[in-house]
């Protein structure tokens, strides 16, 4: 966040104008492009983010999500295309002229100031009167559950607490849109998971639109109302976590969000009965040592040999080489004695899944 943030539109706008803007998406991107010399970082992005949404931009490193975030913030100007915030074209405006704040991974707190002074700083720059400043900073600290830490220096806080101070410092400005650039990236896994839940709760409480950049699919699935999956500077799919996970629109999405099996070529023709490339999630497949049980209506089945069994505590992962060709991974909950699962190594088995769990992600050859 820039400590030099201008007063928010919430303060500047006449009430009528603000009401009109409430009907608009919080963020609207149209044909957004950004080239850095010969590199096209963002290649024609169209996106509407609703007010109050927790929206994640998910994708591998270099897919363009941070550049999109930086164009929303105003740290980069688009090569072409537009950025609108609540219906207002801000494409060429400076960051401080936009009603957004950004929380970065390296939270950059002032080390010599205590927590309260860090949170108050932006309001001080805007010359908000002292009593009001204090009240708003304490409210922001309460929101991130750090009111008891107001007097501490950043060096006396844990990584998660520091990240929450950074969040409070952004929330105190009451922006319409909060941009978060991998804010949990520096935290260890346990803390990160705890912060994911907390961040989502905070977002619900404050009702501000959150636009969250991450390359971590679990994080995106856990927190988001909707996710945009980025690949090569473009969006492959936008949808709820359930839609993106259960119905990936492409082989890329199927592979990037969760793990997925892909069946193609003659194996797909023989098992599914149609040409194309099909995705099947490993946890949707049942594994049965009894080869004779007939498939039920609405089910697809295939036989094969187990080539490996990986015991992973809560789950067991089987690799199965199909008689029809191709390989499928199967993940089952570890329900029975571990020895039962391990005994399947090398066995012939039958795999069964509901028809709707194998779906076409590409035409295939
Ligand atoms: N300032 C810049 N100058 C030149 N190339 C850039 C610049 N910023 C980004 N790029 C390039 O643009 C592409 C997209 O980068 P971007 O940082 O948006 O990806 P990302 O998906 O956010 O990746 P990461 O998760 O690693 O941050 C990459 O190829 C990157 O090297």
The pLDDT tens digits for 30-77 are 999 999 999 999 999 999 999 999 999 999 999 999 999 999 999 999
Lowest mean pLDDT among 103-107, 149-153, 154-158: 103-107
* Angle made by CA atoms 111, 116, 120, in degrees to the nearest 5: 95
77 lines ligand 1 (CB under 6 A): no
Average pLDDT of the chain is 89
Contact indicator for 150, 138 with CB cutoff of 8 Å: yes
User: Looking at the predicted structure, is the pLDDT value of residue 184 above 90?
Assistant: no
Which CATH superfamily hosts domain 9-256? P-loop containing nucleotide triphosphate hydrolases (3.40.50.300)
Best residue for ligand 1 mutational test, from 67, 183, 213, 227 (most atoms within 8 Å of Cβ): 67
Distance CA 87, CA 139 (A): 29
CA atoms within 13 A on the CB side of 304: 25
Domain residue spans of the chain: 9-256, 262-362
Q: At what angle do helices 115-125 and 159-171 cross, to 10 degrees?
A: 20
365 or 112, which is more confident: 112
Q: Give the pLDDT of residue 241.
A: 96
Nearest to 217 by CA among 251, 247, 258: 258
User: Looking at the predicted structure, is the pLDDT value of residue 9 above 70?
Assistant: no
Give me the mean pLDDT over the 210-233 stretch: 95
Contact indicator for 292, 350 with CB cutoff of 8 Å: no
* Angle made by CA atoms 34, 52, 237, in degrees to the nearest 5: 45
Nearest CA to ligand 1 atom 1: 36
Q: Is 253 exposed, middle or buried (0-12, 13-18, 19+ CB in 10 A)?
A: buried
- DSSP letters, 65-105, are HHHHHHHHHTSS--SEEEEEETTEE-TT--GGGSSEEEE-S
**pLDDT tens for each residue of 119-145:** 999 899 889 999 999 999 999 999 888
Comparing 9-256 with 262-362, is the CATH topology the same? no
Q: Please give the C-alpha separations between residue 209 and each of 99, 177, 205, in angstroms, as whole numbers.
A: 11, 5, 11
Q: Give the pLDDT of residue 244.
A: 94
Structure tokens at 113: 């100031």
Nearest CA to ligand 1 atom 18: 64
36 lines ligand 1 (CB under 6 A): yes
Share of the chain above pLDDT 70, in %: 93
Instruction: Kindly calculate the radius of gyration of the chain based on its CA atoms and give it in whole angstroms.
Output: 25
User: Looking at the predicted structure, is the pLDDT value of residue 258 above 60?
Assistant: yes
Give me the mean pLDDT over the 238-256 stretch: 92
User: Looking at the predicted structure, is the pLDDT value of residue 12 above 50?
Assistant: no
Give me the mean pLDDT over the 267-283 stretch: 92
Nearest CA to ligand 1 atom 16: 64
Q: Give the pLDDT of residue 18.
A: 52
| Residue 130: Cβ within 10 Å count | 10
Q: Please state the pTM of the whole predicted model.
A: 0.84
Give me the mean pLDDT over the 162-166 stretch: 90
Q: Does domain 262-362 have CATH number 3.10.180.10?
A: no
224 lines ligand 1 (CB under 6 A): no
Distance CA 39, CA 235 (A): 17
Question: 20: pLDDT confidence band, cut at 50, 70 and 90?
Answer: low
User: b/e string for 259-288 if b means 16 or more Cβ within 10 A?
Assistant: ebbbbbeebbbebbeeebbbbbbbbbbebe
């Amino acid at each position: 966040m820039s400590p030099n943030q201008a007063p928010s539109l919430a303060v500047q706008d006449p009430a009528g104008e603000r009401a009109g803007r409430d009907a608009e998406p919080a963020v609207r991107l149209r044909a957004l492009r950004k080239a850095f010399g010969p590199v096209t970082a963002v290649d024609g992005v169209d996106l509407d983010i609703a007010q109050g949404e927790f929206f994640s931009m998910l994708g591998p490193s270099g897919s363009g999500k941070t550049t999109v975030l930086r164009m929303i913030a105003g740290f980069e100007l688009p090569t072409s295309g537009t950025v609108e915030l609540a219906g207002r074209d801000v494409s060429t405006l400076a960051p401080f002229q936009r009603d957004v704040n950004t929380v970065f991974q390296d939270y950059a707190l002032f080390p010599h100031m205590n927590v309260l002074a860090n949170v108050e700083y932006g309001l001080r720059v805007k010359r908000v009167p002292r009593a009001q400043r204090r009240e708003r900073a304490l409210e922001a600290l309460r929101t991130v559950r750090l009111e008891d830490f107001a007097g501490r220096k950043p060096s006396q806080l844990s990584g998660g607490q520091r990240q929450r101070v950074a969040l409070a410092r952004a929330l105190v400005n009451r922006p319409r849109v909060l941009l978060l650039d991998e804010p949990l990236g520096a935290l260890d896994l346990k803390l990160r998971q705890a912060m994911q839940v907390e961040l989502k709760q905070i977002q619900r409480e404050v009702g501000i639109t959150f636009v969250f950049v991450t390359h971590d699919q679990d994080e995106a699935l856990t927190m988001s109302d909707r996710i945009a999956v980025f690949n090569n500077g473009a969006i492959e799919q936008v949808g709820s976590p359930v839609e993106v996970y259960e119905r990936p629109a492409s082989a890329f999405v199927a592979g990037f969000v969760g793990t997925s099996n892909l069946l193609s070529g003659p194996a797909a023709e023989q098992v599914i009965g149609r040409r194309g490339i099909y995705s099947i999630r490993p946890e949707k497949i049942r594994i049965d040592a009894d080869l004779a049980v007939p498939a039920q209506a609405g089910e697809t089945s295939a036989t094969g040999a187990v080539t490996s069994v990986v015991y992973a505590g809560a789950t067991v992962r089987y690799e199965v080489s199909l008689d029809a060709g191709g390989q499928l991974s199967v993940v089952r909950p570890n329900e029975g004695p571990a020895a039962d699962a391990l005994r399947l190594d090398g066995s012939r088995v039958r795999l069964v899944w509901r028809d709707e769990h194998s779906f076409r992600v590409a035409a295939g050859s």
